[in-house]
Chain A
Amino acid sequence: MSFVPHSDADRRDMLAKIGVSNIRELYSDIPDSLVRDGLPEMPDALSEWETVKAIQELADRNHSLICFAGAGQYDHFVPAAVDHLIRRSEFYTAYTPYQPEVSQGTLQVIYEFQTMVCELTGMDVANASMYDGPSSAAEAAVMARAVTRRDRVLAAGSLHPHYRKVTETYLHGQGSELQTVPIDDRGLVDRDALASALGDDVACVIVQYPNFFGVIEELEPLAEMVANAGALFVVAADPVTLSLLRPPGECGADIVVAEGQPFGNPLSFGGPVVGLFAAKQKYVRKMPGRIVGATEDVEGRRGYVLTLQTREQQIRRDKATSNICTNQGLNALAATIHLSLLGRAGLRKVAEVSTRNAHYARSRLEAIEGVELLYPDSPFVREFAIRTEENSRAILERGFSAGVLAGVSLSRFPSLGAPDGLLLAFTEKRSREEIDRLIDVIAG
């Protein structure tokens, strides 16, 4: 099945009007040696029905487990209205809003999205989205280097290893490295270590909030130390928890990044999701990515356009703040609609129920031999790490057989230097009965 609409007669008429006798003549600029004789080595064409059947067979080979895995992606419920609206052709078959007069829908959505991101993070300005949380963190490091004209980037040892790896990759291109600031025995950034790592060549410090182990970092003292050293304070947040926790903007953050997946976007094996990126007003001209601003049309009506485009690659080329152009527009739309449906009480309820589920699990796990909390004295919201005497991968296998995804094994991430154990995440979708099943799996 193909989507070429022409009949043989159409093709003949068109070729005649063009003045060539066959399509091959339209490829005459390509040297003969490069034009392939046959068709590519791929399967033969299928009908739509056969394709759907083939997809279903693939999908059926994936398992559906009760999900206690988090580590950046969370199994939240998304109301049907979200998917209904993002499936409107008007949204999903449009392009980046280059002609604002016929793109007001997309543009106003982004303006609303930017506002919501600012409200959650406590920051002044936000962009139209990034690819995901990790690349947002990497772009924050790149931006901080440009703002401060300094070289070194520091990150807490409790930053998600994937965030670290992506940031390292972006920095390697720039000839810079990411240095780790160790954490203390409560899972918090070691302030003495931070003090000795800071210096007048440090561009920024990246801290996760709550951190990879779920621990709520104390941001304000860190922000003060970072500011005193003339560096930028970058916070990578779990945005669901920001409906409960003090927003990073209130605690001295210069840039806040986040993985926005929990808002409106299914897990979908890790993507597409949506990176959130917000900053203080004074850095707006150094920000990466699209930004929408309000203005008026010639008749004085309020409208929206892409603005500050002189930061971007299509104008500035090699002097651009970033190379990003296509972002995650439709995922940002899903986030905006989901947050509109939840409202302030709904989002708080999602975070509260998730938190209470996590703390219920904690209370049950404390009674199990061979299991202890990795950081028992530190506060957490909806995710926490346990140390297990039994090999965590064996627990995950037991869970797999029992229909439970029993978290994420800490041994996946040797760079963390953590003991073997599991990172467990909780959402509002989990019931007491499901959590009890998780406990049974871990107890063995």
Chain B
Amino acid sequence: MARFPYTAEVTPTIFEKSSAGRTGTVVPEGDVDTPGVEELIPAAHLRASPPRLPEIPENEVVRHYTQLSLKNHHVDRALYPLGSCTMKYNPKVNEATARTAGFVGLHPFMPQAGAQGALELMYDLTVWLAEIAGMEAVTLQPAAGAQGEMTGVLLMRSYHESRGDGETRTKVLFPDSAHGTNPATAAMAGFDAVELPSDAAGRVDIEALREALDDGVAGMMLTNPNTLGKFESDIIEICDLVHEAGGLMYMDGANLNALMGVARPGDMGYDIVHFNLHKTMSTPHGGGGPGSGPVAVKSHLAPFLPVPRVVRNDDGSFGLEWDRPESFGKLHGFYGNFGVMVRAWTYMRMLGRQGIRGTAEASVLNNAYLTSLLETHYELPFGRGMHESVFSASEIKKRTGVKTMDIAKRLLDFGFHAPTVYFPLNVPEALMTEPTETETKESLERYAEACIAIANEAESDPERVTTAPHDTPLRRLDEGRAARELDLRWTFESED
């Protein structure tokens, strides 16, 4: 069991470690002979007191952030089964290639002749992602999945506007099991988000869909496999129905790890799909980003994609094309999270055609194996999923009073991260578990043993579980207090 080392002490903030006159780095003086800034910039514009940044030697800065780092669970420590997050191993070579000298120093306004390698890399990635999507065009610009979703619904808007339906098609449909970003994105893009109930098997209720479809529907957002990990077996019919009503089909690609190389969203009938390179393509999550959320579309939507587009010119060189009159606009200051794209290129190039499919299959195998170890100890209301399964602790709760949140916290004591909890919303006391393909059989078994031990503990010593965690850097935190008594920044003692 991996316990956290020497981290139970509270680390003072970096500001409390500051001591006037110290510095962590020396900035060269420069060698031009101009007057000082007080003579170059009118006094009325100059600030009276400097921002109160800490003053600390390099060694102490390094120790501070090293100490903080040790309080984090992370993939390199142990299994991190957050459902829909695909916390797979992040190959170390990704970090090396992303820092190649020719990439890190490249200014985004470098003339295209000086950025051919970067543009070719981006072009390759669009070709490979289009192939996995079964679609014709790709933009790499969205900086994360949510911005990929934004791209998707803005494409719907542009498409309908181009056909004169922009004013009347105001609704975007999504199932009740959808990620919260789906309705949030639809609303942010000015659509009415319309939730559909799922059927008893946790899939789209075809009758409910039929009833909801009319000429006011712009499209539907549907994750596949859905958030229960279940493949939408009626996907061909669903896409046909939405298309017949004049709408577009958008696939939230959060769960593409189960499918890549095996089945393609484009073949299913989807018009749009977004990728999460930080999930499916192993670029790290970074403690909450940077991500990258490329979007693939069928050819009828390609004219509306954001500018600039990465293109291959007739002479074999690569370029950025800005003149796209039907484009809906732009989402990122430049071309997206290029550094993340380098990592994804590295990963996909190493995997190759064999590894892409093998990865998907192993993610499904691993989840099926883990599910087989756990299904006699935890309920599985909708059955085994593909790459993830959603367990429920509602029976355990009824019998023992131990809730899903308690089980999640107790797992932390066993050295694992918790699954995604209380989601999707159609499973009470949900534990949404995604092991990913990079875990060994033994690693899955160790995790299952911990889950089973906790289920047993809930019966024999429930208080041990409800008061967990016990062995983490901090114990349960008062989130209510944080929201009531807002303390969102360090308060300096004296105004110096």
Inter-chain contacts of B111 with A (CB < 8 A):
396-397, 400, 405
Contact A62 B106 (CB under 8 A): yes
**Apart from A308-B483, A357-B30, 6 more pairs, CB < 8 Å:** A61-B116, A100-B477, A129-B289, A244-B47, A295-B485, A381-B41
20 contacts between A and B (CB under 8 A): A42-B353, A44-B354, A52-B97, A64-B105, A101-B469, A102-B71, A108-B71, A114-B489, A115-B13, A163-B333, A172-B157, A216-B41, A245-B46, A271-B339, A272-B290, A316-B184, A324-B144, A341-B61, A379-B41, A408-B109
Q: What is the chain B residue whose CB lies nearest that of A173?
A: B189
Contact B476 A90 (CB under 8 A): no
Contact B290 A328 (CB under 8 A): yes
Q: Select which of A62, A103, A119, A135 is within 8 A of B143 by beta carbon.
A: A135
Indicate whether B1 reaches chain A with its CB closer than 8 angstroms. no
- Provide the A321-332 mask, 1 if CB < 8 A to any CB of B, else 0: 011111111110
Q: Could you tell me the distance between the alpha carbons of A69 and B70 in the complex, rounded to whole angstroms? A: 39
Q: What is the chain A residue whose CB lies nearest that of B59?
A: A81
Given contacts A91-B69, A329-B288, contact A35 B41 (CB under 8 A): no
Inter-chain contacts of B106 with A (CB < 8 A):
62, 267-269
Q: Could you tell me the distance between the alpha carbons of A6 and B366 in the complex, rounded to whole angstroms? A: 10
Q: Select which of B42, B47, B75, B337 is within 8 A of A93 by beta carbon.
A: B75
Inter-chain contacts of B48 with A (CB < 8 A):
246
The smallest C-beta distance from A352 to any residue of chain B, in angstroms, reads 5
Q: What is the chain A residue whose CB lies nearest that of B421?
A: A98
The smallest C-beta distance from A171 to any residue of chain B, in angstroms, reads 9
Stretch at the interface among B242-250, B438-446, B450-458: B438-446
Q: Could you tell me the distance between the alpha carbons of A91 and B77 in the complex, rounded to whole angstroms? A: 11
Q: Select which of A5, A99, A175 is within 8 A of B412 by beta carbon.
A: A99
Given contacts A35-B263, A173-B154, contact A302 B10 (CB under 8 A): yes
Contact B441 A14 (CB under 8 A): yes
Q: Select which of B30, B107, B132, B306 is within 8 A of A405 by beta carbon.
A: B107
The winner among B88, B149, B349 for most chain A CB atoms within 10 A is B349
Contact B118 A111 (CB under 8 A): no
Q: Could you tell me the distance between the alpha carbons of A109 and B282 in the complex, rounded to whole angstroms? A: 24
The smallest C-beta distance from B117 to any residue of chain A, in angstroms, reads 4
Q: Select which of B144, B355, B362, B487 is within 8 A of A327 by beta carbon.
A: B144
Q: Select which of A42, A54, A292, A341 is within 8 A of B25 by beta carbon.
A: A341
Stretch at the interface among A179-187, A192-200, A224-232, A343-351: A343-351
Q: What is the chain A residue whose CB lies nearest that of B284?
A: A92
Stretch at the interface among B32-40, B294-302, B391-399: B32-40
- Provide the B426-454 mask, 1 if CB < 8 A to any CB of A, else 0: 00000000000111110000000000000
The smallest C-beta distance from A292 to any residue of chain B, in angstroms, reads 7
Contact B32 A295 (CB under 8 A): no
Q: Could you tell me the distance between the alpha carbons of A333 and B65 in the complex, rounded to whole angstroms? A: 9
Contact B37 A313 (CB under 8 A): no
Contact B50 A43 (CB under 8 A): no
Indicate whether B251 reaches chain A with its CB closer than 8 angstroms. no
Given contacts A35-B262, A40-B132, A62-B117, contact A428 B107 (CB under 8 A): no
Inter-chain contacts of A166 with B (CB < 8 A):
329-333
Inter-chain contacts of A344 with B (CB < 8 A):
50-53, 55
Inter-chain contacts of B208 with A (CB < 8 A):
none
Given contacts A3-B91, A3-B437, A328-B289, contact A271 B51 (CB under 8 A): no
Inter-chain contacts of B13 with A (CB < 8 A):
108, 111-112, 115
The smallest C-beta distance from A28 to any residue of chain B, in angstroms, reads 9
Q: Could you tell me the distance between the alpha carbons of A431 and B32 in the complex, rounded to whole angstroms? A: 8
Contact A305 B479 (CB under 8 A): yes
Given contacts A14-B441, A408-B109, contact A63 B355 (CB under 8 A): no
Q: Select which of B32, B146, B351 is within 8 A of A324 by beta carbon.
A: B146
Contact B482 A305 (CB under 8 A): yes
Contact A63 B263 (CB under 8 A): no
Contact B53 A116 (CB under 8 A): yes
Indicate whether B113 reaches chain A with its CB closer than 8 angstroms. yes
Contact B97 A295 (CB under 8 A): no
Inter-chain contacts of B4 with A (CB < 8 A):
102
Indicate whether B475 reaches chain A with its CB closer than 8 angstroms. yes
Q: Select which of B100, B236, B441, B482 is within 8 A of A13 by beta carbon.
A: B441
Contact B479 A295 (CB under 8 A): yes
Indicate whether B423 reaches chain A with its CB closer than 8 angstroms. yes
Indicate whether B147 reaches chain A with its CB closer than 8 angstroms. yes
Q: What is the chain B residue whose CB lies nearest that of A24?
A: B361
Contact A337 B33 (CB under 8 A): no
Q: Select which of B361, B372, B373, B489 is within 8 A of A115 by beta carbon.
A: B489
Q: Could you tell me the distance between the alpha carbons of A131 and B75 in the complex, rounded to whole angstroms? A: 23
Indicate whether B169 reaches chain A with its CB closer than 8 angstroms. no
Contact B143 A105 (CB under 8 A): no
Q: Could you tell me the distance between the alpha carbons of A221 and B160 in the complex, rounded to whole angstroms? A: 43
Indicate whether B404 reaches chain A with its CB closer than 8 angstroms. no
Please classify how large the interface on chain B is, using the bins under 10, 10 to 19, 20 to 34, 35 or more: 35 or more
The smallest C-beta distance from B378 to any residue of chain A, in angstroms, reads 16
Inter-chain contacts of A71 with B (CB < 8 A):
109
Indicate whether A149 reaches chain B with its CB closer than 8 angstroms. no
Q: Select which of B33, B91, B113, B235 is within 8 A of A360 by beta carbon.
A: B33
Given contacts A29-B233, A44-B354, A268-B103, contact A346 B23 (CB under 8 A): yes
Inter-chain contacts of A388 with B (CB < 8 A):
none
Contact B490 A115 (CB under 8 A): yes
- Provide the B100-126 mask, 1 if CB < 8 A to any CB of A, else 0: 111111111111011111101100000
Contact B478 A271 (CB under 8 A): no
The winner among B74, B128, B409 for most chain A CB atoms within 10 A is B74
Interface residues of A in 12-31 (CB under 8 A from B): 13-15, 17-20, 23, 26-27, 29-31
Contact A259 B488 (CB under 8 A): no
Inter-chain contacts of B66 with A (CB < 8 A):
85, 88
- Provide the B245-279 mask, 1 if CB < 8 A to any CB of A, else 0: 00000000000000011111001100000000010
Contact A97 B417 (CB under 8 A): no
Inter-chain contacts of A96 with B (CB < 8 A):
285, 287-288
Inter-chain contacts of B362 with A (CB < 8 A):
4, 6
Q: Select which of A58, A216, A326, A363 is within 8 A of B45 by beta carbon.
A: A216
Indicate whether A290 reaches chain B with its CB closer than 8 angstroms. yes
Contact B338 A270 (CB under 8 A): yes
The smallest C-beta distance from B320 to any residue of chain A, in angstroms, reads 11
Q: What is the chain A residue whose CB lies nearest that of B491?
A: A115
Inter-chain contacts of A266 with B (CB < 8 A):
104-105, 339
Indicate whether A370 reaches chain B with its CB closer than 8 angstroms. no
The smallest C-beta distance from B54 to any residue of chain A, in angstroms, reads 5
Indicate whether A367 reaches chain B with its CB closer than 8 angstroms. no
Inter-chain contacts of A42 with B (CB < 8 A):
128, 131, 348, 352-353, 356
- Provide the A299-315 mask, 1 if CB < 8 A to any CB of B, else 0: 10111110110101111
Name the 10 nearest CB pairs between A and B, nearest first. Answer: A270-B334, A59-B102, A45-B352, A169-B329, A329-B288, A270-B108, A330-B286, A272-B290, A63-B114, A341-B24
The smallest C-beta distance from A220 to any residue of chain B, in angstroms, reads 9
Q: Could you tell me the distance between the alpha carbons of A325 and B69 in the complex, rounded to whole angstroms? A: 22
Inter-chain contacts of B114 with A (CB < 8 A):
62-63, 65, 400, 405
Indicate whether B217 reaches chain A with its CB closer than 8 angstroms. no
Q: What is the chain A residue whose CB lies nearest that of B60?
A: A340
Contact B188 A174 (CB under 8 A): yes
Q: Could you tell me the distance between the alpha carbons of A320 and B180 in the complex, rounded to whole angstroms? A: 9
The winner among B64, B114, B146, B365 for most chain A CB atoms within 10 A is B365
Inter-chain contacts of B95 with A (CB < 8 A):
87, 92
The smallest C-beta distance from A98 to any residue of chain B, in angstroms, reads 7
Contact A89 B58 (CB under 8 A): no
Contact B68 A105 (CB under 8 A): yes
Contact B288 A44 (CB under 8 A): no
Indicate whether B14 reaches chain A with its CB closer than 8 angstroms. yes
Given contacts A4-B437, A114-B488, A293-B483, contact A94 B74 (CB under 8 A): yes
Q: Could you tell me the distance between the alpha carbons of A41 and B356 in the complex, rounded to whole angstroms? A: 11
Q: Could you tell me the distance between the alpha carbons of A336 and B489 in the complex, rounded to whole angstroms? A: 13
Contact A120 B51 (CB under 8 A): yes
Indicate whether A250 reaches chain B with its CB closer than 8 angstroms. yes
